[in-house]
Amino acid sequence: MLQVLSHRIYRHLFLAQVTALVGTGLTTIALALLADSLAAGQAGIVLGTALTIKMVAYVGIAPVAGAYASRLPRRVLLVGLDLLRASVVCALPFVTEVWQIYVLIFLLNAASASFTPIFQATIPDILEDEEQYTRALSLSRLAYDLENLLSPIAAAALLTVMSFDVLFLLNGLAFLGSAGLIISMALPTPHASDEAPGVWSRVSHGVKVYLKTPRLRGLLALNMAVSAAGAMQIVNTVVYVRSTLGLGGQAVAIAFAAAGGGSMMVALLLPKVLERARERPVMLFGGALMTLSLFLGLLAPGFVGLLGLWLLLGAGASMVMTPTGRLLKQSCQPEDRPALFAAQFSLSHGCWLLAYPLSGWFGAHVGLIETFALLGTIALVSTALSARFWPSRDSIHLEHDHSPGAHTHLHYHDEHHQHEHEGWEGSEPHRHPHHHPGGRHRHAFVIDRHHSQWPK
């Protein structure tokens, strides 16, 4: 997996990602302490509201950013967003009212909702080899899991020698470090795209491509399974360990580490697995593992049993999330990658926006065992729907018909554009009226200007 770091541009991008992740992990801890200092008796409400604002920003901003990402140089855009995030986190130590937290959290996560999909869509342009790209996805998953494990430990150590306000400033420095790493390299120029007319058409384009692609409809159902399982683990671990089992904070940390350990184990093994297996069986097996882990919660496990459940849950979630980039890359034209990655970012966080409050409210008002049953049922139905939406024979190359027609748009000379020119059209990509004779042919099929519907 580490061989992919020999690629200089990707190595700098990966280090930028890790630097920003570490800083964000510190801010997560510092934000909880800030909420407690401003609203001592209502810190949970403040954090819950901030988390909801975060998800709303993710769902609403990502498609807009994806629609316009191809119109700006990637390096300038990513560096600008890093600088905005650094400015926002450095302002957090100076807030005096709760509403100021909400405003800054929205700005911070609006910038992240713009940064992350563009960053993710850049990597397949750098690592065009499928095997290298798969390793990069696993390495990225591993970085997220390590951050979840190590950031709380680092924050605890730092808080012994400094106040929590300093953690925000360290995150600001981390974002500046990320910006510096991005400045140090030349990123590929975005693929030329023919902008859809109208603001709404541009914003909705990635979502339309996503929902018209069967394998991605299956992915969306699996996103719901991941959210149901993840919400149970993130929201209710502390309640189950402390209230049901009567254990302390150290046991809570170990339980969280079990889920991270399962995810890390899969991230390490998956590149070899995906050399021999297609994504569909691996990802559906991940959905089944998460479903099993939730239903085993009906047995009211002890602490050791809970660690086993969370290990299975983390492994299943990683089986779904790690190959996601491969599916998105297979399912669009290069110029549509920012819009499609943004659609995945927005739709998957929409699932979390449903799962978080459902898990918290049901656990508090009905009971944890009943919550295991409810979220296990959601994961089961979601996995079954994924198997239904995602054809078992999901061929990349499909034979399909084209009706004859004429139109004008920006294009290269590919399998759909083999026509004569008069000499004024200019270099590719170029725009001029051209005719398509129609007929039947076979090639790697994606939803785009020439293919508005998936073939039957």
Cβ pair 392, 280 in contact under 8 A: yes
Mean pLDDT of 152-178: 84
pLDDT digits (tens, 9 = 90+) for 351-378: 998 888 888 888 888 889 999 999 999 9
**Residue spans per domain, the chain:** 1-188, 205-391+448-456
Q: Same CATH fold, 205-391+448-456 and 1-188?
A: yes
Determine the CATH number of domain 205-391+448-456: 1.20.1250.20
pLDDT digits (tens, 9 = 90+) for 397-429: 666 666 666 666 565 666 666 666 756 556 666
The size of the chain, in residues, is 456
Token digits for 289? 């593992």
Cβ pair 416, 436 in contact under 8 A: yes
Residue 59 has pLDDT above 90, yes or no: no
- The identity of residue 435, as a single letter, is H
Token digits for 204? 């909705």
Which tops the pLDDT comparison, 179 or 42?
Answer: 179
pLDDT digits (tens, 9 = 90+) for 166-213: 888 998 999 999 999 999 888 877 665 555 555 556 667 778 888 888
Q: Are strands 439-444 and 430-436 parallel, antiparallel or unpaired?
A: unpaired
Mean pLDDT of 268-297: 93
pLDDT digits (tens, 9 = 90+) for 64-76: 777 676 677 888 8
**Whole-angstrom Cα distance, residue 151 to residue 166?**
15
Determine the CATH number of domain 1-188: 1.20.1250.20
Distances (CA, A) of 392 to 131, 246, 273, 318, 379: 22, 46, 18, 21, 20
**pLDDT band at residue 144, thresholds of 50, 70 and 90?**
confident
Which pLDDT does position 127 carry in this prediction?
Answer: 83
**Whole-angstrom Cα distance, residue 291 to residue 284?**
11
Distances (CA, A) of 353 to 28, 52, 286: 18, 7, 21
**Whole-angstrom Cα distance, residue 83 to residue 207?**
28
Token digits for 424? 């004024």
**Whole-angstrom Cα distance, residue 112 to residue 212?**
27
Look up tokens 């901030």; give the residue. Answer: 50
pLDDT digits (tens, 9 = 90+) for 298-313: 999 999 999 999 999 9
Residue 394 has pLDDT above 60, yes or no: yes
